[in-house]
Amino acid sequence: MGSITQLTESTFDEEIGSATEPVLVDFWAEWCGPCKMIAPILEEVAQEHDGKVRIAKVNVDDNPNLALKFNVMSIPTMIVFKDGVEDQRLVGARGKPQLLEDLNAYI
């Protein structure tokens, strides 16, 4: 059963570097309405595509250095890391069909 990993500045590099599958990292904040809208969609994708793509989240308020490092200017921003390197960037909330289409190359 796929679950969503919460990443922090201290766990990010190890988690992303050791992942065998692509990792979609959702940069979000508690106060962000669109972030809350997409959260259940990410939960579904994590469960339905467990083993193909991993879903992780970074709270930008708690981890501002990660947001700076990856030049996250607006949230939600989702970055797909493949082999530890940024492979695709999705900015803004989207519905499940569009998100799955965006992730088609990984799932």
CB-based burial, 34-54: b 16+ in 10 Å, e otherwise = ebeebbebbeebbeebeeebb
Catalytic residue among 32, 46, 55, 90: 32
73: its two tokens: 């200017």
35 tagged catalytic: yes
Catalytic residue among 35, 66, 80, 103: 35
32 tagged catalytic: yes
Distance CA 99, CA 60 (A): 21
> Strand (E) positions, the chain?
4-7, 23-28, 54-59, 77-82, 85-91
Q: Which residues are known catalytic residues?
A: 32, 35
